[in-house]
Amino acid sequence: MSANGRLAGKIAVITGAASGIGEGATRRFVEEGAKVVMADVQDDRGRALCAELGAHARYTHCDVTVESQVSAAVDLAIAEFGRLDVMFNNAGIVGAVGRIADTSAEHWDRTVAILLNGVFYGMKHAARVMVPQKSGVIISTSSTAGILGGLGPHCYTACKHAVIGITKSVASEMAQHGVRVNAISPGNTATAMTSAVMTGRADSIDAVTEHIERSSLLGIAGLPIDIANAAVYLASEESRYVTGHTLVVDAGTTTVGGNGRFHQQDSAILREAGIRERA
């Protein structure tokens, strides 16, 4: 809660703020001097975190599939704090899972409503405030599943690709108004949602953290704080020349791909290749 922090004086709305990446971002934003409107459907968790953060936060029930509730979260920021500097569209679920031939339209539509329509509503209502004030930052959570196929369920993958697309499109419109629009694509991150997917239990965070560590190229697990730090950068003046960008935070998974075995001098593959070359 620094008066001289990287986000000092800024006002933010964060959707999905009560847990996981949203909670991590809420805490980091407040630590860096921002005031935050926390928007979520997890009322007990949201109100408890809001009470902990005190005067630096407000909580509002917000189902991002309902445009009027997203609009109300933006209006609350104006009413309580006088402006809106950062809109972080972060709320999400895994959503529809299974083979494409078996995916129900109902589950598909519900997933799109949260993962894509919720981002659209956030961008729309942030824009109506930020354009007149000629400043602001919009950030949206995509995923590495928005970059590569096969890293998530079909609908989740489609929506996360779409978040990157709409980020670029809206950035091209909003730049003339002094508003920057970017996305973050997290890799495997140890959250309750990831835990539920991997283990069937939302509270198996330690087990999920260990699993991510074992599969990480860097040998460490991605944590909500890592994504929150990326959001702080994009929300701050440090990124004043960055718009239309997707910041990937995934320990190199989508860029590097391999495990570096070809760079190891004692690699069996290299020894075999050398034998064949000499032959």
Indicate if 19 belongs to the active site.
Answer: no
The DSSP output letter for 258 is S
**Helix (H), strand (E) at residue 225:** helix 224-235
Indicate if 236 belongs to the active site.
Answer: no
Q: Residue count of the chain, please give it.
A: 279
Indicate if 156 belongs to the active site.
Answer: yes
Residues 149, 151, 153, 158, Cα dihedral to 10°: -40
Given 160, 195, 236, 239, which residue is catalytic?
A: 160
Q: Coil, strand or helix: which one is 223?
A: coil
Go through 168-191 and write b for each residue having 16 or more CB atoms within 10 A of its CB, e for each that does not. eebbeebeeeebbbbbbbbbbbbb
d(CA 129, CA 123): 10
Given 10, 156, 236, 239, which residue is catalytic?
A: 156
First to last CA, the chain: 67
Given 140, 142, 143, 236, which residue is catalytic?
A: 143
Cβ neighbours for 168, distance < 8 A, ≥ 6 positions apart:
244
Q: Are 16 and 37 in contact (CB under 8 A)?
A: no
Q: Residues with catalytic annotation?
A: 143, 156, 160
